[in-house]
Amino acid sequence: MAGPLSGIKVLDLSRILAGPWSTQLLSDLGADVIKVERPVGGDDTRGWGPPFLAREDGSATAESAYFLSANRGKRSMTVDISTPEGQGILRELVKTVDVFVENYKLGDMRRYGLDYAALCEINPGLVYCSITGFGQTGPYSSRAGYDFVIQAMGGLMSITGQSDDQPGGGAQKCGVPISDLMTGMYASVAIVSALFERTRSGQGQYIDMSLLDTQVAWLANQASNYLVSGTTPKRWGNAHPNLPTYQAFAASDGELIVAVGNDRQFASLCRVLGAANLADDERYATNARRLSQRATLIAALSELFAKAGKSHWLDELEKAGVPCGPIQSIPEALADAQVLARGMVFSLPHASGATAPQIANPIKFSRTGVQYRRAPPMLGEHTDEFLASELGWSVARIAASKQQGTV
């Protein structure tokens, strides 16, 4: 069954992660995504290995695991957009697409004649999305943006990691490039929204996405805490700034997570631990009181958790309806029965002759479905096809353009 974005065509000039993550989502939803890459090297992340994908006989391919994570479903064509001929190819392709995505530095697209002002003259219905580190305006707009830098500048690292008074304390980055990923998600929402608006107005529009804007936007409750109280949020490690019994506890054989968010759950936790008296203690009667007595409460609970193993506590807490879970490694998470039951791990045949493992899109539609039409493409895998079918180029012209290094 066709995906909800079936019939939408996307020209994707983005590289690394934020843009490719967005366009991979659009592809999963049914859009036809054409990934435009440099003739030599392509997307930088193609070389971000090891690990590299291997065939069944153990021979290596040139496809990095990083690239494979964000580019499925797309077709790849190579074009040198710094050349007049390459720019002409894109202008021709723009006539037939709905969406244009790029993440070049400020001014690059204008220099190539591929900025929104130029392309909307060719295609007034074009939805054009630019993704940069700092946006198209402001004092930092000309700077290059990288996820690690944005996590630091956007406040995330200041609230991530153990507090300074704990072993290993200090600012930490997130374990995945979350500023890139979230910007890609916001970009997808913006693109789909602009496409929906186009059904009413008949007009495309320009979308300006910034990694720093996105990072600041999803400081969420932590930023709100500061704006309301004036108190600078700090690092809590695996604890929570507003919920004292929402953290990791050490059992006799390792840690588990407890996520108690209300008085009823707190009472159930205390009963499981054999300490119903704590739930009756006026010092801990409400979340606000528990928060004010965090140190003494956590000390008492920690002493009780240390009396038995993780499995015991997880079983008992689950029976009592107390939110909890193990701290799993990535292999453990991917092998979890729930993850497998939801089809979150699968594979696709790759043009290199290997099989490309994939993490599934988490969206579950009742009718239209998510589509996985092809594995992430090899560099320039579809160049000849596009030039012949979309632009009507002859075999001789394609060969000559390759000789010149344009495609």
Cα 276 to Cα 128: distance, rounded to the nearest angstrom: 59
pLDDT tens for each residue of 168-211: 899 999 999 999 999 999 999 999 999 999 999 999 999 999 99
Cβ(132)–Cβ(106) below 8 Å: yes
Tokens standing for 242? 């507003």
DSSP-derived secondary structure letter, 327 = -
pTM to 2 decimals?
0.94
Taking residues 233-241, what's their average pLDDT? 93
Residues of the chain with CATH 3.40.50.10540: 9-218+339-404
The CATH-assigned architecture of domain 9-218+339-404 is 3-Layer(aba) Sandwich (3.40)
pLDDT tens for each residue of 30-69: 999 999 999 999 999 999 999 999 999 999 999 999 999 9
Cβ(90)–Cβ(79) below 8 Å: yes
CATH dotted code for 246-328: 3.30.1540.10
Residues of the chain with CATH 3.30.1540.10: 246-328
Query: How many C-beta atoms surround the C-beta of residue 233 within 10 A?
Result: 17
Active-site residue (options: 180, 263, 280, 384): 180
pLDDT tens for each residue of 82-115: 999 999 999 999 999 999 999 999 999 999 999 9
Cβ(300)–Cβ(275) below 8 Å: yes
Q: Tell me the percentage of the chain whose pLDDT exceeds 90.
A: 97
Cα 219 to Cα 217: distance, rounded to the nearest angstrom: 6
Residue 274 CB partners (closer than 8 Å, separation 6+): 304
Say what the pLDDT of residue 178 is. Answer: 97
Say what the pLDDT of residue 166 is. Answer: 85
Taking residues 317-321, what's their average pLDDT? 98
Q: Scanning the structure block, which residue is given the tokens 């390459």? A: 86
Cα 407 to Cα 383: distance, rounded to the nearest angstrom: 7
Say what the pLDDT of residue 164 is. Answer: 86
Residue 135's alpha-carbon distances to 11, 103, 130, 318, in angstroms, are 20, 10, 8, 46
Residue 1 predicted with pLDDT over 80: no
Cα 185 to Cα 205: distance, rounded to the nearest angstrom: 18
Cα 166 to Cα 249: distance, rounded to the nearest angstrom: 15
263 is catalytic: no
Say what the pLDDT of residue 381 is. Answer: 97
